[in-house]
Amino acid sequence: MGVFTRFKDIISSNINSMLDKAEEPEKMIRLMIQEMEETSVELKAACAGLMADQKRIAREQSQALARLELWEDRARLALEKGREDLAREALLEKLAAQRLSEGLERERDRFAVMIEQAREDIEQLDVKLESAKERQRSLAKRHVRADQRIKVRSNVSRVQSADVMMRFDQFEQRIERMEAEAELGAPRQNRTLEQEFALLEGGDEVEAQLASMRSSSDK
């Protein structure tokens, strides 16, 4: 797969969607970033090659312009010396140099467009790469927070379990204390409040009956 094909695939890809569907998003984002970085290196190398070619073409064009001026000067010299045949030959060389210069100028323009496009591609890839790295950092933070939540829940569970056991022990001790108190106060607590008042209210009647029985027995 060529560098520009990989570039197009990367730029057109939806990283978030791919990661949401991935079983191991952290591993996948690492592979994505690695591929982007490698593609970025290749794009920059290709752009550097284009710039080198553009400089070479500029040098060749400069040489063609120099030849154009040289043959133009020779054509004038030959004409001044009455050598129209040589002037004509010199003008033909000048025309060839001019055509070469024009062709090289078009080539320079074409390379300028290619270099500008390469720079835009590199910029787009850098933006995509930074976005991927930001997502990687986000995943890492989520992973850390998830670990922290697990630890907190584990600690809370232990604390809650200890708290429950402590409250259970306190409740058990309270019941035991109530049972002990109930045993100590059993005689009185076996009678209800109604029974207590009934004893008080019926006391006089009982005494009267006892007196009557004593009187009868004396007779």
Q: How many whole angstroms separate alpha carbon 115 and alpha carbon 119?
A: 6
204-219: pLDDT as tens digits? 665 666 667 767 666 5
CB 44 within 8 A of CB 122: yes
| C-alpha to C-alpha distance for 47 and 57, rounded to whole angstroms | 15
C-beta of residue 74 within 8 angstroms of C-beta of residue 90: yes
* pLDDT at residue 62 in the model: 95
Q: What is the structure's pLDDT at 93?
A: 94
**Cβ partners under 8 Å of residue 200, min gap 6:** none
Is pLDDT larger for residue 144 or for residue 57?
57
Closest to 1 measured CA to CA, from 39, 27, 41: 39
| pLDDT greater than 70 at residue 203 | no
Does 16 or 125 have the greater pLDDT score? 125
- Confidence check: pLDDT of 167 > 90: no
**If you average pLDDT over each of 52-66, 156-170, 173-187, which comes out highest?**
52-66
pLDDT of residue 134 exceeding 70: yes
Span 83-109, pLDDT tens digits: 999 999 999 999 999 999 999 999 999
Smallest CA-to-CA distance from 61 within 95, 25, 16, 97 is with 97
Residue 191, classed as helix, strand or coil, is coil
Output phi, psi for 82, to 5 deg. 80, 20
Query: What mean pLDDT, rounded, does the chain reach?
Result: 79
pLDDT class of 175 with cuts at 50, 70, 90: low
Assign 29 a pLDDT band (cuts: 50, 70, 90).
confident
Per cent of the chain over pLDDT 90 is 37
Residue with tokens 């009982």: 206
Q: What is the largest CA-CA distance in the chain?
A: 195
Q: Which residue has the higher pLDDT, 29 or 59?
A: 59
Q: Where are the domains of the chain?
A: 3-146
In this predicted structure, the answer to whether residue 135 has a pLDDT above a threshold of 90 is no
173-188 mean pLDDT? 62
Give the integer Cα–Cα distance in Å for 104 and 60. Answer: 7
Residue 30 has pLDDT above 90, yes or no: no
